[in-house]
Amino acid sequence: MPVTTSEPGTINAAAPASETTPRARAKFPLPFPRLESLRSRILAFAVAAALLPAGTMLGVFYTQNRHALEKKINEDLLSGSAQSARATGVWLRERLYDLRVFAGSDEVVVTLDHGPRALPASPTEGRLRDYLVSLHERFSDFEKLMVLDLNGNVVATSASEVSRVPLPADWQATLRSDNQIVGDAYWDPKTRRAKLIVAVPAQRADGRLLGAFAAELNLAPVQLLLRSFAPDSTGAIHLVNTKGAAIASSDGISEQLIKYPLPPSTMKKLRERARAPFSYTSFRDRDVIGTLEYVPQVNWAVIAEISSEAAYLQVRRFRDVALMVILFLLVAVTAASYRLGRLIARPLDRLTKAASEVAGGDLAVDLPSAPGGGEVGYLTEVFNHMVYRLREGRAELDRINETLRKKNEELELLSTTDSLTGLSNHRSLMKRLDDEVARFKKDHRGFSVLVGDVDHFKQYNDAFGHPAGDEVLQTIAEIMRDSTRKVDCCARYGGEEFVIVLPDTAIADALDTAEHIRARVAAKKFNGRKMTLSIGVASFPEDADDAESIIAVADEALYQAKREGRDRTVRARRLQKTG
């Protein structure tokens, strides 16, 4: 048996070899270290773990990392192609939307609808050209804007000279069926830039086609967009049509890319294996790994690719680095294991105890630095940092919970409050009425309801405008708040109609409150004009049996006040005027 030391926390010394048990001597007939101390076990484990699996580990490590790298490349390609396809689709939809807005303007429709009589003498003159020039100055994504008649002739253009618009032969049928035309990219030798023509129908309100609104798109934003999703200098993202002809590229577009599309066999394989990266020969005879993703709602596709040589070069470098790391670890573990064995036991006891305290919810733990530093000292520092982060996390969680509580209160307030007047809204009012009816059934305490409507509000709104009308409603709402108790519910019922619920209030007191509000409103001047209220008053349960009925009864009394001349308060059913 090991000899127990008197000092707490020290490692017991191993028994001498002569004290080994018969079973141990029978099991190990040759001299063999017993490895009873933690230090010797760490040393033996470190040497065995570093030497024995080194060769196997290298092969497995290389294979796994190769697969992991290939998986990452595939994920990057899929992510880049999907994001580029979505972003390109959004960019094209936004440009087509802009064109539809332009095509629907009166300047375009009226000019095309009136025929040759309304057309300018030259496409580079007239009001329609001025309109196109102003659009061109504000929207930089369009190189040139053009309006075409049904014969495909340019009626007006934002450019200084007229050029033929390359539209398909059946462009009118395409516009009617697809509501848009997206042409193929072509190379302009004059500007030495790739260009793309898109067009949308110009039509009357009854749907009759009058012509087309066409634009020559600036593809530079698409190139920048694709470049933002390209993985690095060894990768590229191309925008192509379904035939493999390039439209834009993160590497830049050239006449060669447009003139020489991808081979049909490559495009066929890309379409068949869409979203599944594989190796092929791309533009400029580059050997790449790539994948295809379709652009929504248009016959375009995005091809994301990376150089095969660069991809496998990373794998080879990874293998070499892994080998160097394994050799370094072999030396380092063997050299440090003896010292680690001496330093690890006591700090581990402290770590175990501290971990139990943290698991029990006590985050006030702060371990002293381990003697000798090393991995155990680092582990102690990491543990202390972890506890510190947990404390910070708990404090942050408390702050977040407090923020969420406040936000929930704000959302609750917004869901029950009218945004213009700050009074309760219709939903909150009906809930309050239901609560008051339920309270009456429980303790037989009634309530009264006032329904008020601003007299001649529409005429005032028409005369002074909606902002002035809003100020009237806000002022009346403030008068109602000032004239009622905190327990009362003032609500905007709709438009210029208000409802006030007065709990534990008899009809006489309700009439007094209504009269007070009516008088204060009548005494107020709005833009030099007097505004008045007509108010209907009802009491529950004398005048109704449920929430909807009490509103209906008070509303009927309100309209009785309107019929009797407005600016007055009328008691429900008995119709007794008090003003």
Q: Which of the given ranges, 106-110, 272-276, 472-476, has the highest pLDDT on average?
A: 472-476
Q: How far is CA 154 from CA 128, 174, 197, 201, 357, in A?
A: 12, 18, 14, 14, 82
Question: Average pLDDT of 455-472?
Answer: 92
Nearest-CA neighbor of 213 among 179, 163, 177?
Answer: 179
Within a domain: 539: yes
Within a domain: 540: yes
More confident of the two residues 131 and 68: 131
Q: How many independent structural domains does the chain possess? A: 2
Q: How far is CA 258 from CA 181, 184, 185, 247, 326, in A?
A: 19, 10, 7, 7, 50
How many H-runs (helices) and E-runs (strands) does the chain carry? 16, 18
User: How is 22-72 classified by DSSP, letter by letter?
Assistant: HHHHHH--S------SHHHHHHHHHHHHHHTTHHHHHHHHHHHHHHHHHHH
Question: Average pLDDT of 546-561?
Answer: 92
Residue bearing tokens 């533009």: 283
Rounded CA gap, 386 and 498, in Å?
A: 58
Nearest-CA neighbor of 480 among 513, 442, 524, 444?
Answer: 513
Within a domain: 343: no
Within a domain: 345: no
Within a domain: 499: yes
pLDDT, tens digit, for every residue of 380-390? 778 787 888 88
Extended strands (E) in 205-350: 209-217, 235-241, 246-249, 278-281, 287-294, 300-307
Cis peptide preceding 31, ω within 30 of 0 = no
Query: Worst-scoring range by mean pLDDT, 133-147, 491-505, 554-568?
Result: 133-147
pLDDT given for residue 194 in this prediction:
82
Q: Identify the CATH number of the domain in which residue 109 sits.
A: 3.30.450.20
Q: Does position 472 have pLDDT exceeding 60, yes or no?
A: yes
Among the residues of 450-546, which ranges form H helices? 457-464, 466-482, 507-523
Q: Identify the CATH number of the domain in which residue 552 sits.
A: 3.30.70.270
Q: Which residues are CB-neighbours of 418 under 8 A, at least 6 positions away?
A: 424, 425, 491, 492
pLDDT given for residue 498 in this prediction:
95
Mean predicted lDDT score pLDDT of the chain = 81
Instruction: Return the structure tokens found at 254.
Output: 């050239």
Instruction: Return the structure tokens found at 204.
Output: 């009357």
- For residue 223, what pLDDT band results from cuts at 50, 70 and 90? confident
Q: How far is CA 506 from CA 341, 539, 540, in A?
A: 87, 7, 9
- For residue 344, what pLDDT band results from cuts at 50, 70 and 90? low
More confident of the two residues 541 and 25: 541
Contact between 160 and 187 under an 8 Å Cβ cutoff? The reply is no
Q: 462 lies in which domain range?
A: 426-571
Q: Does position 187 have pLDDT exceeding 60, yes or no?
A: yes
Within a domain: 518: yes
Q: Which residues are CB-neighbours of 506 under 8 A, at least 6 positions away?
A: 446, 448, 539
Query: Worst-scoring range by mean pLDDT, 16-25, 33-42, 47-56, 156-165?
Result: 16-25
Rounded CA gap, 337 and 47, in Å?
A: 8
pLDDT, tens digit, for every residue of 61-97? 777 777 887 788 888 888 888 888 899 889 888 889 9
pLDDT, tens digit, for every residue of 234-271? 788 989 888 888 888 888 888 888 888 889 898 889 88
Angle between the N-to-C axes of helices 457-464 and 466-482, in degrees from 0 to 180, rounded to the nearest 10? 130
Q: Report the percent of the chain where pLDDT is more than 90.
A: 26
pLDDT given for residue 2 in this prediction:
43
Burial of residue 197 (CB within 10 Å: 0-12, 13-18, 19+) is: buried
Widest CA span of the chain, in angstroms?
122
Within a domain: 143: yes
The residue type of 54 is A
Rounded CA gap, 367 and 370, in Å?
A: 8
Q: Would the pTM count as exceeding 0.95? A: no
Q: Does position 201 have pLDDT exceeding 80, yes or no?
A: yes
Within a domain: 255: no
pLDDT given for residue 310 in this prediction:
79
